[in-house]
Amino acid sequence: MITIKEVSELAQVSQSTVSRALNGHPTVKEANREKVFKAIEQLGYKPNAFAQALASSRSNSIGMLVGSLDGPFYGPLMHTAEDTVRQSNIHLIVTSGQESRTKELDSIQFLQSKLVDGLIVHSDKLSDDELIKIAKGSETMIVLNRFIPEISDRCIYIDNELGGYLATKHLLENGHKKVACITGQLSKVDSRDRFQGYRNALLEFGIEYNAGLFVEGRFDHQGNHDAARRLLDRDPEITAIFCQNDNIALAVYDVAAERNLIIGRDLSVVGFDNDTHSQHIRPRLSTVDFPVHEMGEEAAKGVLSLINKRDYPLKHKLTPTLIVRESVAKL
């Protein structure tokens, strides 16, 4: 069995330095921290997590609330956050709110009952006031996908309004006049912000907003085919659709095939998220890239810095970018 003494000898630091590095103590120099973890990797040392927790008065765990435990957004978000915290020998405990205010509150209370050292919260249903109250009781909490002025220093969010604008602008720049929009659930801030970006682009190009060219869908797979059918039934002259995520765009591809419409010729589509499958469907989907891996990494580093009382230049506002592929025709 590898001991802390062997780690200290290989890293050429004291045993107390190894112990402090494992516990994330802020007084350890970064060069020494790197030596310790390099030695740990070489030796295959596995510290006793229970003993560490007793010694440091910490649980060596971070709690994370997400909307769902699957899907192209939450999956990479959780995976990246976990990878990042595990580098500091900390475990991630994840719970899901399942689009329910009650379940979100229950999940946060559950995580707090486990005495987690920090919280990463992605809430769909809790109000700003509720999140502010929770944040006041937990100084080591990061809020995702929400900008709340009172706790802005602990918020990480994407400019969804800009993303919706970029997607719609791309369609308008290619000569489309009847540009429709299928949103996600309008109960979600993301959907409302992306929809505002859609309307901003229409206004910039002098095109009057038409409520008949909008329909509410969902960010998951439920009901999007019916939403696309309703939209195209309302106005067969629609030439382009901004889909507020790539799941919705896949449904539009299916419905277009039902009607013998060729994507990229008869009907143009722009998605949002830049999921892996957007690169593999044909024609490849033009979409807005959501930097979800960056968000997961920033959330993890941000909460670790709060736990360890270390300064960290947290990126609060992440910028989406347009990925142009083959799903948009030029008129």
Could you tell me the CATH number of the domain that includes residue 12? 1.10.260.40
Same domain (yes/no): 109, 17: no
Give domain status of residue 225, yes or no: yes
Please say whether the dihedral angle defined by the alpha carbons of residues 305, 310, 315 and 317, taken in this order, is positive or negative: positive
Same domain (yes/no): 211, 269: yes
| pLDDT (average), residues 112-136 | 94
Give domain status of residue 328, yes or no: no
For 279-322, how does the pLDDT look when each residue is reduced to its tens digit (9 = 90+)? 999 999 999 999 999 999 999 999 999 999 999 999 999 999 99
Same domain (yes/no): 285, 164: yes
Same domain (yes/no): 184, 277: yes
Number of domains observed in the structure of the chain = 3
Determine the pLDDT at residue 69.
85
Same domain (yes/no): 164, 285: yes
The secondary structure element, H or E, covering residue 169 is helix 160-173
pLDDT band at 50 (very low <50, low <70, confident <90, very high): very low
Q: Is 37 left (phi over 0), alpha (psi -120 to 50) or beta?
A: alpha
Determine the pLDDT at residue 89.
87
Same domain (yes/no): 215, 286: yes
Same domain (yes/no): 113, 144: yes
Give domain status of residue 329, yes or no: no
Give domain status of residue 327, yes or no: no
Q: Going by DSSP bridges, is the β-strand pair 141-144/321-323 parallel, antiparallel, or unpaired?
A: unpaired
Instruction: Look up the CATH number of the domain holding residue 71.
Output: 3.40.50.2300
pLDDT band at 263 (very low <50, low <70, confident <90, very high): very high
| pLDDT (average), residues 94-121 | 94
Mean pLDDT, the chain, whole residue set: 92
Determine the pLDDT at residue 54.
43
Please say whether the dihedral angle defined by the alpha carbons of residues 200, 205, 211 and 214, taken in this order, is positive or negative: negative
Q: 165 pLDDT exceeds 90?
A: yes
Distance of CA 90 to the CA centre of its chain: 20
Q: Which of 80, 79, 83, 108 shows the shortest CA–CA distance to 96?
A: 108
Q: Going by DSSP bridges, is the β-strand pair 286-289/317-318 parallel, antiparallel, or unpaired?
A: unpaired
Query: Which DSSP symbol is given to 165?
Result: H
- CA of 108: how far to CAs of 54, 122, 303, in Å? 23, 11, 15
Q: Which domain holds residue 37?
A: 4-55
For 181-239, how does the pLDDT look when each residue is reduced to its tens digit (9 = 90+)? 999 999 888 999 999 999 999 999 999 999 999 999 999 878 999 999 999 999 999 99
Same domain (yes/no): 74, 120: yes
Of all residues in the chain, the percent with pLDDT exceeding 70 is 95
| pLDDT (average), residues 142-162 | 96
Instruction: Report the distance separating Cα 160 and Cα 35, nearest Å.
Output: 41
SS3 58: coil
For 60-85, how does the pLDDT look when each residue is reduced to its tens digit (9 = 90+)? 899 999 998 877 889 999 999 999 99
Q: 8 pLDDT exceeds 90?
A: no
Does the predicted TM-score (pTM) go above 0.95?
A: no
Same domain (yes/no): 197, 75: no
SS3 287: strand
Q: What are phi and psi of 287, to 5 degrees?
A: -155, 165
